[in-house]
Structure 1
Amino acid sequence: MRFLPTCSEGSTTVASTKNLAQDAAAVLPDLRGPADDAFRTAFQVSPIRMIYYDTDMVIRDVNQAFLDNDGFTRAEVIGRSMRTVMGDAICERARPAIEAALRGEPQVSTTWGLRRATRDRLIRIRHEPVFDAAGKVSGLIVLIEDTTELYELESRVSMHEEVFRQSTEAMSIVGLDFRFIWSNPANARTWGFTAENIVGKHLVDVIGERGFLDRAKPNLERCFAGEQVEYHFAHMSENGDIAYFDLNCVPFRNSTGEVIAAAVTRRDVTTSTMMKAELLRQAREDALTGLANRYALEEELEARVAQCAACAGDSDARLSALVLVDLDGFKVVNDIAGHSAGDTLLKQVADLLRTIDKVDMVARLGGDEFALVLSACTAEKVMAACQTIIGALETTPFDWGGARYSVRASVGVAMLDREAFEAATPSIYDVINWADRACRLAKERGGSRVAVYHPNDTEIQARFEETGNLRVVQDALLNGRFELYVMPIAPIDGVSGHYHEVLLRIAGSDGQMLAPAAFISAAERHQMMIPVDKWVVRNVLERLHRAPPDLQLTVNLSGQSVGDPQFRDFLVSALDDFPDVHGRLAFEITETSAVRSMETARDLIKALRGRGCGVILDDFGSGLSSFGYLRKFDVDMLKIDGNIIGDVVNDPVQQTIVAGIVAVAGKMDVRVVAEFVADEYMQETLRNLGVSFVQGYHVGRPRPWADVIGT
């Protein structure tokens, strides 16, 4: 048989089991009879493109779908060869299928179209032989079907099936009889099955009776009732490992909307759950000692206050106490032996406090302060526990580097009893404040002793007053009610340039200015001095930038700000925004705060002096080791503590102390400021002792910024 190239658009051929035109007449136009008419009608109206050509590869007929899709008219194709109509590339690619079909073997192939009408479309092509009455092939019918959408749908379905199969999330369908209807491998693997053999298993046989009755059954019953259910559970494997899961159960409905099963998705959240638990532990735990931290303590106190408030402190079984332990002499260990020694001592104390009987919580508040919470206790039992703490610390010396250090503690107690609730239900900050006040009292009395705070004594009024002052500070920050005052610092020789110390006041509701003592202590106690200091710094820098160029100021920084590296970053950034004021600005840091936060203070001083700002060590002489610490701080001035200046005119001892401070400062090229100078006699005495600057009511009282400097 002579072969001519055909127009089939297929390259891969598959033998077909069907023969569309078996026993049909050889040439469609010659068909006769009702059945033949029906066949011709089907040929013409079919949406599938069809071409009939003879063994010489001459097109004898095409249907309308082919003409519409390929853009031909009948006159352009009937009687023409396939190569002329369809082109060489298509005909050559179809050669294997044509040869097989002409031998009487139906062929099916799928390929991507080459013609403009079929480009980027997936085409399925069937080559069906047409036999004459003698059973010989008289021609071929080619059916060209666009299967792109079907292919894409099948691909999506296949992809979805593969996603379900490979998903690490466990997925399953559970029937109303609590048996698995379907499962992906991830779900089956968890329980030791395959996706095939878990089907039909009852949940009891898979997760166990307890897991079924306690967890799965009640939640699935809610789902079967039409509710979407989510829950979390933990599962312990045979080897003791615990895994955590989140489950989502969605009602699975039939076409009528009836719930016939539950679609269950189970996600392993072990890693995230354990991470959250670890973060929660870290958030509630002191990193150094492993004790509870302040946050955890406050949570515990919140519950204790609520519990005691419910019975107004009447039930001994529900009474609680907060015990604050402040180490005496910790700074000595830290300064002499170093921070590693200090950290080791804190761990040793933490271990000791853990051994105290009948203690519900031991926490570290920070630094060398610890707290204990006791419950179901009387005052006598609390005092006994506190004495045990003091005795245990005193009899457990701390050895480091061949040296032995004694460890003592001051202990303050706040009882949550009937007395504590007589005035009002205290806040947790009230309770901490009470214990802190008692602890300070114990320290003032010499340390190594216990003091108990009683809210019905004279201090209760002070507590309410401080709380009110704290609200005043908060209101001033929110509503801008702070006012800047200045107080002169004069050169004692009357020649050198003078300074003004910036002071802070708050305008009361009556328009009167509140003195610093009325609100600074409250702000310090409740950790609010950093935002106060930031307000002062921002306002001073902006005003100094606009002020006369000969104006020189000093600004006080609180101990909280000095000890906070983030405040240092804030201050440096704020100063960098106003480089023109650096040489006209000095910052006052108290000796106590500098010593307490030595490394941070030294970094702060270095940053300030590096920008041309001055640094004044305030309240110098208030500590016991002032001269020893002086060499550690690179400062420009010392401001002698007012208690030393008190009676310097008549007291030879005070005169000697001042002269000594001046002498040491002179050797270090540091000038000395004396404050609380009340009269000319005192100023003259200080002049003779070598003091460089004086400050006090004799020099000038504090006045509003606007009255002295202007805008």
Structure 2
Amino acid sequence: MPRDIHILLVNNAPEVRQMLRTALAEAGYGNITEASCGLSASKILRSTPLDLIITDIEITALDGWRLARLIRSGVFHCSSATPIIVVAKTWCERIAETTAREFGVNEMIALEHFQTLPEVVQSCLQAPAEIFRNPSVLVVEDTQDTADLVLRVLRHRFDVEVAGDGRSGLEAWKKGRHDLVLLDTMLPGMSGPEVLQAIMEIDPEQPVVIMTAFSSVDLAEDLMLKGAADFIAKPFRAEQLRKVCELAVKRDDYLVSNAQFAARVESVRESTEAYRRVSEAHQRLLDNLSTIVLELDAGGRIRFVNQAWNRLTGFSVAESLEKPLISFMAHDKGSGRNGLKSLLTRESVSFQGELRLNDKQGQTHWVECRMDAINSDEGPAIFGCLDDISERKKAQSQLEFLTMHDHLTGLYNRHYFDGALRRMVATSSRGQGSHALLYIDIDHFKVINDTFGHQRGDALLREISELILSRLRRSDVLCRLGGDEYAILAPNSDPSQAKVIAEEICQLLQNFRSQIDGKQVGLSCSIGISEIHGLAVSPEEYLKQADIALYVAKRRGRNRVQVYDPKDTESEELRNSLDWARRLRQAIEEDWLQIHFQPIMHIGSGKIAHYEALVRLDLPGRELVFPGEFIPALELAGEMPLLDHAVIRQTIALVAANPGLGRVAINLSAQAFRDEQLAPLIEGQLRLKDVAPSRIMFELTESASISNITAAQRMIKRLNGIGCEFAVDDFGTGFSTFGFLKLFPAEFVKVDGSFISNLDRNPVDQVLVRSISEVAKALKKKTIAEFVHSETVLNLVKGLGIDYAQGYHIGPPLPIGELKLTASAEAYAAGNPNPAT
């Protein structure tokens, strides 16, 4: 290393300059210019090119920080990147190091370690330390819009890296060890809490800020307890995000600074003058911190506090000194008072928790504190730091309210209801009385929403909520479960008392008139009641009972009250229907719903033309369940659209994956005509799976189509428009409706199986089938015979003019894996009407 480099040595004390010059000279550095203050150093820098500057912090006229800032700004004759080394007489390591980074200082050492100065000089000259480095932030977020927003907000202050999922985020952190991790809770593959756990196991001191949109207060608190430094709720403001990230990046600096500051003050408290010099040196640094740093004496009185105290509380440092910290604390019995008391009595040596401070205007602020008790020559003392967390506590409170309340009406929500019901059931199970659950549904509310719009409907729901509340007792709990459904938990009420309450609510709504767009809107409601007596196996059983009673009330004409009665056969039918609806939802979620395919043969060619999709339930512990067992129950419960949607999705997916299926017929329920989401679902699934509409046809029963002829025509017209075809299923059961075929735009007519199963033994059936065939041909429609179970029946339907045959003689329904697919069905779907050709 050449020793002719030019060094500027700046220090007020001649003896210190001499000591440092000697150490440098012994290492071979002889070209040294000295300056006794910041002003003389500035004059030298204006005219003389220099290779390195060594300075103290405390120099007159221009302190070391400002001198460094001027050098880095490029106003002097030397390069703005000239290495700067600070040799400080008094300093707190972490605070000084943090400040040094901010002012672009390359290296910093204590004067007591001046012997290491030559090695530090050599290191700076060989490989200058990086200056002006922004803190690094790793953003683990799978939503691109959120990630882009964070990047825009933070890129000017931080070096930002983005990872799109938990696993890649963890690998990026292991590689980069970023100053801060901004972590979403909901991530694909590896969740946010799992990433946090993995990071904490490797480095418990790593600052991690959690981003959460739907999480509860309990989840946020749990993640903080597991190591997260802070959290921020989505959606967030730019200023809020920057503040949280700045605080998180600097938090470790603050906490470490506090411990180092306490240790430093204790070590130099040998004389009053030494303490004063250290206190003044650090006061200038501490006053720039947003964290409150304080010292308490043995009686808990404030001995030292920085200016952050004044900014938070409004009380000046002067008027706060010698006053007990507890006199500024809110009058509650929180952990803060207990923690401070344990430190003062020496029951513990450290405390970390939350407490509330009163400001000068009487407002309360939440702060997070960390305090340590030490013993000094002057007796016991307590050192600590306080961080303002008022905004975080406010956000927690808002999250807690939103977790328990309905955003539209302000009533308790389903989450709160579930907990309250469990508690009420528990008290009843312990023999502390019986209670009542009232399940309320506003009659025909969907009509109001569809007629006047959801905004007016929401306003009406708020009015209804106020109306119901006006009737309840103070002990009753009203919850909105969703949509137009409410529940009331009535403690210490038997069924007769609950029925009185319910009937009064029905009367209130019936008498209520709301004006919407100049029109009077009348209301009514149906209410189901169950008694909470502690005998049911679970809280959900009481809700199910109330739900069943509500169904009974609606089936008996609505605008009435029904108390659940297990002996009521109608209630038992509804219970069975609701059980099947629950099992269907579980079957869809657990993939227990199966689609089997039965071939339909073109009689003239003997080739398979297409298949019919038939649904089965493969429930655990049972043999395969056929539709006849569960469809009537689903129709009673009004849940057929759920089955329609699931069958359509699964069938189209199987058609897409198996070209050999060719065309497939899907049965639609009678409720499909009232399902406004059905046609968009079909169109969307065909696009999503890239399936030609000509490969899908739909079957509608004759009876359902006749009762909904207008809706059926509308749906068929829409799906015909994209290329799907239709068949009338079970035709002939309403034989008086032959003229219906003229109105119904279907390409196929399926002769009901009741005419086919005895065709070889019943001449009347043969006449009827021939009639159907002739009428269909006259209307240019193709016919399909169901239940063809023998060669004899097949020959008969062929002789009667039927075009296609379906039944066990042609082939049984089988899952896709057991089908022997041929090219004929695929060719038919491609547009060849005669598979034989």
Asked whether the two chains share a fold, i.e. TM above 0.5, the reply is yes
Alpha-carbon distance in structure 1 between the residues aligned to 2:482 and 2:712: 23
Q: 1:446 to 1:398 in 2, by over 3 A?
A: same
User: How far apart in 2 are the matches of 1:405 and 1:417?
Assistant: 38
The 2-side partners of 1:238 and 1:113 are apart by 49
Question: Which residue is equivalent to 1:356?
Answer: 471
Match of 1:122 among 33, 49, 54: 54
Q: Is 1:634 equivalent to 2:634 in the alignment?
A: no
Which of 321, 329, 332 does residue 199 from structure 1 map onto? 321
2 CA distance for matches of 1:573 and 1:515?
Answer: 28
Deviates more, 1:526-535 or 1:351-360: 526-535
In structure 2, what is the equivalent of residue 395 of structure 1? 511
1:290/1:396 CA distance change after superposition, 3 Å: same
The verdict on how the C-alpha distance between 1:710 and 1:416 changes in structure 2, with shifts beyond 3 A counting, is farther
C-alpha contact (below 8 Å) 1:113/1:123 kept by paired residues: no
Cα-to-partner distance string for 1:449-485 (whole Å, 9 max, x where unaligned): 111113466656985897699579747854x554321
The aligned residue for residue 798 of structure 2 is: none
Q: Is residue 2:449 matched to residue 1:449?
A: no
Q: Does 1:385 align with 2:495?
A: no
Can you list the C-alpha shifts for 1:29-65, whole angstroms capped at 9, x where unaligned?
A: xxxxxxxxxxxxxxxxx97545xxxxxxxxxxxxx97
Alignment match of 2:305 (pick from 183, 186, 199) = 183
CA–CA distance in structure 2, aligned partners of residues 638 and 581 of structure 1: 15
CA distances 1:141-160 after superposition (whole Å, capped 9, x unpaired): xxxxx994514985965536
**Matched length:** 558
Say whether the 8 Å CA contact 1:174–1:261 is kept in structure 2.
yes
Counterpart of 1:34 in structure 2 is none
1:35 aligned partner:
none
Shift of 1:441: 0.8
- Mean Cα deviation higher: 436-445 or 699-708: 699-708
How far off is 1:387 after superposition? 0.8
- Farther-moved stretch of structure 1 (153-162 vs 176-185): 153-162
For 2:374 and 2:702, locate their aligned partners in 1 and report how far apart those are by CA, in whole Å.
78
Kindly indicate whether residue 393 of structure 2 is the aligned counterpart of residue 277 of structure 1.
no
Task: Give the equivalent residue in structure 1 for 2:755.
Answer: 679
**Alignment CA distance shift 1:340-1:249 (3 Å):** closer
Give the number of the structure whose alpha-carbon radius of gyration is greater: 1
Find the counterpart in structure 2 of residue 231 from structure 1.
Answer: 353
Deviation larger for 282-291 or 178-187: 282-291
Q: Structure 1 residues 363, 18: closer, same or farther in 2, change over 3 A?
A: closer
1:263 corresponds to: 383
Aligned twin of 1:174: 296
Aligned counterpart, 1:550: 662
Relative to structure 1, is the Cα distance of residues 170 and 68 closer, same or farther in structure 2, using a 3 angstrom cutoff? closer
Runs of 5+ consecutive residues of structure 1 not aligned to the other structure: 1-6, 21-45, 51-63, 72-85, 98-106, 125-145, 589-615
Distance 1:235 1:475 in 2: 55
Residues 176 and 492 of structure 1, relative CA distance in 2, 3 Å threshold: farther
Q: Against the structure 1 CA distance between its residues 119 and 331, is the aligned structure 2 distance closer, same or farther, given a 3 Å change threshold? A: closer
SS in 2 for 1:167: coil
Q: 1:113 to 1:532 in 2, by over 3 A?
A: farther
Kindly indicate whether the alpha-carbon contact (under 8 Å) linking 1:324 and 1:370 is maintained by their aligned counterparts in 2. yes
Give the aligned partner of residue 617 of structure 2. Answer: 506
1:604-637, Cα deviation, whole Å (9 max, x unpaired) = xxxxxxxxxxxx79984597x7626864882336
Matching of residue 150 in structure 1 with residue 87 in structure 2: yes
Shift, 1:267, TM fit = 2.7
SS in 2 for 1:377: coil
1:635 maps to amino acid: L
Structure-to-structure mapping, 1:235-634, within 5 angstroms = 241-243=363-365, 245-254=366-375, 260-311=380-431, 315-316=432-433, 319-358=434-473, 360-417=476-533, 421=535, 424-428=536-540, 430-455=541-566, 474=586, 478=590, 481-487=592-598, 499-508=610-619, 512-516=623-627, 537=649, 541-542=653-654, 544-548=656-660, 550-554=662-666, 575=686, 578-585=689-696, 620=704, 627=710, 631=714, 634=718
Q: What whole-Å deviation, never above 9, does each CA across 1:507-530 have from its counterpart, x for those lacking one?
A: 355672112465676899899997
Tell me the equivalent position of 2:813: 703
Contact kept, 8 Å, 2:548 with 2:574, in 1: the verdict is: no
Question: CA offsets per residue over residues 114-138 of structure 1, 9 Å max, x none?
Answer: 999x9424179xxxxxxxxxxxxxx
1:442 CA drift (Å): 0.9
Take 1:369 and 1:292, find their aligned partners in 2: how far apart are those partners?
A: 12
Shift of 1:351: 2.6
Structure 2 alignment gaps of length 5 or more:
57-82, 100-256, 258-281, 757-764, 789-805, 822-837
Native 8 Å contact 2:645 2:678 kept in 1: no
Deviations 1:181-217 (A, max 9, x none): 2212222444432234422212344336x35x76544
| 3-state SS, counterpart of residue 322 of structure 1 | strand
- Structure 2 counterpart SS, 1:502: strand
Q: Quick one: distance in 1 between partners of 2:53 and 2:638?
A: 74
3-state SS of paired residue (1:392): helix
Question: After the TM superposition, which of the residue ranges 550-559 and 353-362 deviates more from structure 2?
Answer: 550-559
Give the aligned partner of residue 244 of structure 2.
none
Q: Which whole-Å CA distance do the structure 2 matches of 1:166 and 1:540 have between them?
A: 66
TM-superposed CA distance for 1:583, in Å, is: 3.6
Q: Deviations over 1:344-385 (max 9, x none)?
A: 433332232222222723233333322222111111111011
Q: 1:335 to 1:190 in 2, by over 3 A?
A: closer
Question: 2:435 is matched by which residue type in structure 1?
Answer: S
Q: Aligned in 2, Cα 1:629/1:576: closer, same or farther, shift over 3 Å?
A: closer
Contact 1:523 1:529 in 2 (8 A): no
Relative distance call for 1:529 and 1:400 in structure 2 (3 A) is closer
SS at match of 2:369: strand
- Corresponding letter in the other structure for 2:815: W
The residue type equivalent to 1:387 in the other structure is E
Report the CA distance shift for 1:247/1:671 in structure 2 as closer, same or farther (over 3 A).
same
Q: Distance in 2 between matches of 1:518 and 1:341?
A: 42
- Deviation, 1:437, is 1.1
Task: Indicate the percent of aligned positions where both proteins have the same amino acid.
Answer: 17
The aligned amino acid for 2:52 is: D
TM-score under structure 1 length normalisation:
0.62
For residues 27 and 651 of structure 2, the distance between their equivalents in structure 1, rounded to whole angstroms, comes to 82
Aligned twin of 2:233: none
1:138 aligned residue: none
Is the contact between residue 337 and residue 355 of structure 2 (CA under 8 Å) also seen in structure 1?
Answer: no
C-alpha distance in 2 between matches for 1:581 and 1:397? 51
- Picking from 625, 648, 657, the partner of 2:734 is 648
The residue type paired with residue 458 of structure 2 is D
The code of the aligned residue for 2:529 comes to V
> Using the alignment, how far apart are the partners of 1:526 and 1:340 within structure 2?
26
